[in-house]
Every structure is written in C-alpha cells, then in structure tokens.
Amino acid sequence: MGGDADAADKSRQKSCNACVRSKRRCDKRTPRCTRCSEKNFACVYQNLPPAGGGPAEGAAAAKAATVSDAQDDPLQAMDLEDGSSDHLPPPPHPFDFNTLGGSSSSTSPTYVNGTLVMDEPTDSSATTSSLNLDPNMPNFDFNSVMDFLNADPAQGGEMQVWETPQFPQLSKSLAPELPYMGSVCCGMERDDILCMSQGDFQPWQIHEPDSRIGYMVSYLTNMHTTFAQTKQTPFLHRHLYRGIHATPRPLLAAYTAISAYAGRTNANKGWAIRAICEGAAEVLKSAKDPAASAAMTGHEKLARTQALWLLQTIRCFDGDVAMRAQGERDMEVLKRWLKELEGLRDNLDDVHLLDDLALRQRPPRSWEVWVFNECVRRTVLMGHIFTSLFEILKAAGESEPDVTNWLAPHRWTFSRSLWEAQSSPAFFSSWREKPLFMVNSFFVQEVAKVARPFDVDEFARLFLTVNFGVEETKHFMLEV
C-alpha cells in the first residue's frame, strides 16, 4: 500500500526534483524553473508540464528530461543556502569532483532512500578548463577514501587518497662533493721536499705553527705523549707485538721512562729526567754487544729502534743541554739501526706498480705479517725524517742536509682503513673494499688527487701537510 501511495504521489508531482527535495516553491517554468536558474541547479521534472511554450520550449524541455537525475548533485539538492550567497555570481557549472580528469564519462552520485549510490556513467560538460583548474593536477577519487580508511597497514595496504608531486632530485653534478687535496693547493716540488735551501728556512719558522717545518717539529716533539697515552704511534701499531711471546724489553723500558716524563711536574721533574737517561741506557745495551744484536729477531730489532727514536725526540727537543749532548752522540746508533731495518723491510717492490684490481688480488699472507711489514716501512721513513730534520735545525739554513738516505725509495701504504683495522676479518674486508694506495716517501701529490678525508690517517696527514700546507690540509680534512 505504501509503495502504491508513493507511486501515485510521484505521478502527480509537478515541481522539479530539486525544489521537491529542498521543499521550496517551484514556478514550474521550462526548461528550468526560476530557482534552479538562480542557483544553477540541474532542473529535472518527474512529469513534464503541459507544453505551453511552443515547439522550441517543448524540445528544450525534452532535452532537459533526458539529463540523468545523477547530475543533480547531492550538495546542490541539500540547498545549503546562505544569506550572502544571493549576492555572489553563479558558478559556471555545477562542481563535480569526478570531472577533474577531463574525461567525458563520469559516475555521478544520487540518493535512494537516504543512501548515496553511484549511477551509470553519463556525459558531462564540466572540464578542468571550465573550472579554471590546472589540467596537470592529479585526479581526486572519493571512492578511494573508504579504501584508504579500511586498508590494513600491516599487510602493506597503505593507500594514498591523492598523490603529491615529488620534489626534483638533484643530479650528481649539483650535489656537493668531498674535497680532494689536488683542488686546494699546488704541492711542493721534489727538490723542495728533499732539501731546504738557505732561502727556504729560517730558524724562527719552527715557532710558527702555520709553517710546514714548525708543524713537523711540533708533530715530532709531541709524539712521546701520544705513545704514553695510547700505546701506539703513527708508525707503531697497537697490535704489533700481540702475536709474540712478550713485548720486547727495550720498548717497555722506553714506555716506562716516557710515561714518567709525560706526567712530570715541577716536583718530580728530576726523577722524570733520570728515568729518561736510564731508559736510554737500557735501550742502548744491545748496541755494545754485536753478538746479542745479531741474535735478535725482527720484532726485537724493530722494537729497539722505535724505543730509541721516541727517546731521541725527548733528548734532542727537551731543551736540557746535557740530554741533547747525549742524544747527538747516540744519533749514529739510530742511523745504523735504521739501516738494519732496511734489510728486513718489504719495500713493496713487486706490487707498487700494479693497478688497483691486480693489487687487491694479491693480499698479504696474514694481517699480522702486514702489520709488521708496514711498521718497519713507516719506522724507517720516520727515522730518516727525524735525522734529516735535526740536521736542518742544527745548520740553521746555512747548509743543506745529506740526501743520501732519500735516493732509495721508501714506500708505505696510504690507507686509514687498513692501518686502523682491529682484527684480521676487518683488515681483509678493507683490503677488498676500501681505498688503498702505495706511496713513495713524501710524494703524495698523485694520491691526493683521488683520496678523501676518510682515507687519511695521522701518518698520511703529516705528508699532506708537508706537501700542501697546514691550513690547506685542515680545509681538506673538513676541520674548523
């Protein structure tokens, strides 16, 4: 009975659907009533009124009747009228989100028994151009709202209601790169490094921290403090003597004396100086016994040379006249021991000319062997640097030092990752994957063209500073 009554009511309906739904008076004009014209609503009559306007009006009314009820947007049918809306100009066309893509086919919503449903696609004349919208703007689909709310993030069902434009990615050419030393400054020439002429060196330069020779003197005179605090130096690896039965006695004697000297005060300075003198005497015992020296192992010869080198930096640069005199007398012993180490040294003769791929295919026998050989190479080089620098300072720029020790190559490995590896697996992993370079003496100019700050250890930094300068090296290392 209720259904028959509703059908009868609709058969008698004269007003348009928009006016009926909003419960407003309809003047029943065709093709659009006055209210629908003012509001720019789609005017659809359930039952067309009798033709009273001639053939033209009848045709227009028939055309309006064919427009789907779906075009009567629910936002319009709700008639959310406002007092101020009467003074605003009507929009160019009823707004439909589903027409933003510019397609002629769209799905429009209608209400059935108070429920929003989607009708069959119909033609729509609303386009992005008529709405003054950006044609490149992505579509906004209201159907995705419920999918978004019901999506399960645990199953990867995270859905975006609309897509946001991505920011442009910077190309590699625009991305900032880490500096390389070749872009900072021109390095020193070979002859300038091997010897300093009278015009290149002045005695007061050793007190200028920004001068290269001043940096070297400060570097060497503070080496004993690093050894006392960390049990290692740029040429003495932390794990160098781990694999042997016991740490060689000369090195322990030097460590005891150097630790006392590094912690000296005005109250205990006398004992600290005495410890240095007695420690040096302990280290030099083997120099007076050729038979004992010949019976020493490679680790023992290396340890005594390192111990004497560290003690010499204190004896020669402390400022005590008596200790300096003793240090000068023992300088020949240090030079002789350095020559003995050159006989033990693996100078990388068979690998220094290999390309990177071939070099990585020839790893050392073991991590311990590489640590020993690298410490020998670096100790010999640092020993010759110390003796040459001491001669330069004594001559005060009036004569050039002996360059005999620099005629032969002194190769070493430029690789922070290899030197700072703390285990065998870490070492061989770095050998396969991290940058490594073979360098001869001071000449790091070619390596500096490709090396980066994280490739530089303290030993390599000394030679970068000698080649390029103190401030330039700080800039390269990204230091403030």
For residues 222 and 308, membership in a common domain is answered with yes
**What mean pLDDT, rounded, does the chain reach?**
76
Query: Does the pLDDT value for residue 76 go beyond 90?
Result: no
Assigned domain for 175 exists: no
Residue 117: domain span: 94-162
**Residue 205 buriedness (CB in 10 A; 0-12 / 13-18 / 19+):** middle
Q: How far, in Å, CA of 413 to CA of 160, rounded?
A: 54
For residues 39 and 125, membership in a common domain is answered with no
Question: Of 50, 74, 90, at which residue does a domain stop?
Answer: 90
Domain count of the fold of the chain = 3
Question: Of 90, 110, 136, at which residue does a domain stop?
Answer: 90
Assigned domain for 461 exists: yes
Assigned domain for 189 exists: yes
Q: What is the pLDDT of residues 346-388, one digit of tens each?
A: 999 989 888 989 999 999 999 999 999 999 999 999 999 999 9
| Confidence grade of residue 410 (pLDDT, cut at 50, 70, 90) | very high
Three-state DSSP at 111 gives strand
CA distances to 183, 188, 395, 403 from 399, in Å:
34, 20, 6, 12
Check residue 7 and give its pLDDT.
54
Q: How far, in Å, CA of 476 to CA of 472, rounded?
A: 6
The H or E element containing residue 426 is helix 424-433
Q: How far, in Å, CA of 111 to CA of 116, rounded?
A: 5
Angle at 82 (CA atoms; ends 78, 87), nearest 5 degrees: 125
For residues 411 and 316, membership in a common domain is answered with yes
Question: Of residues 194 and 221, which shows the higher confidence score?
Answer: 221
For residues 17 and 113, membership in a common domain is answered with no
For residues 86 and 98, membership in a common domain is answered with no
Q: Which amino acid is at 170?
A: L
For residues 145 and 285, membership in a common domain is answered with no
For residues 364 and 232, membership in a common domain is answered with yes
For residues 151 and 72, membership in a common domain is answered with no
Q: How far, in Å, CA of 308 to CA of 240, rounded?
A: 17
Q: What's the whole-model pTM score?
A: 0.61
Assigned domain for 179 exists: no
| Confidence grade of residue 228 (pLDDT, cut at 50, 70, 90) | very high
Q: What is the pLDDT of residues 393-402, one digit of tens each?
A: 888 767 777 7
Three-state DSSP at 457 gives coil
Q: In sequence order, what are the residues at sequence separation of 6 or more whose Cβ sits closer than 8 angstroms to the Cβ of residue 90?
A: 38, 39, 40
What mean pLDDT comes out for the span 452-473?
A: 93
| Confidence grade of residue 200 (pLDDT, cut at 50, 70, 90) | low
Question: Of 90, 112, 146, at which residue does a domain stop?
Answer: 90
Assigned domain for 167 exists: no
For residues 283 and 411, membership in a common domain is answered with yes
- Say if residues 401 and 388 touch (Cβ distance below 8 Å): yes
For residues 201 and 255, membership in a common domain is answered with yes
Check residue 72 and give its pLDDT.
45
Q: How far, in Å, CA of 371 to CA of 367, rounded?
A: 6
Q: What is the pLDDT of residues 33-65, one digit of tens each?
A: 988 888 888 888 877 655 444 444 444 444 444
Question: Of residues 470 and 91, which shows the higher confidence score?
Answer: 470
Assigned domain for 309 exists: yes
Assigned domain for 10 exists: yes
Assigned domain for 176 exists: no
For residues 396 and 456, membership in a common domain is answered with yes
For residues 304 and 158, membership in a common domain is answered with no
Q: Among 307, 262, 259, which residue's Cα sits nearest to residue 281?
A: 307
Check residue 324 and give its pLDDT.
94
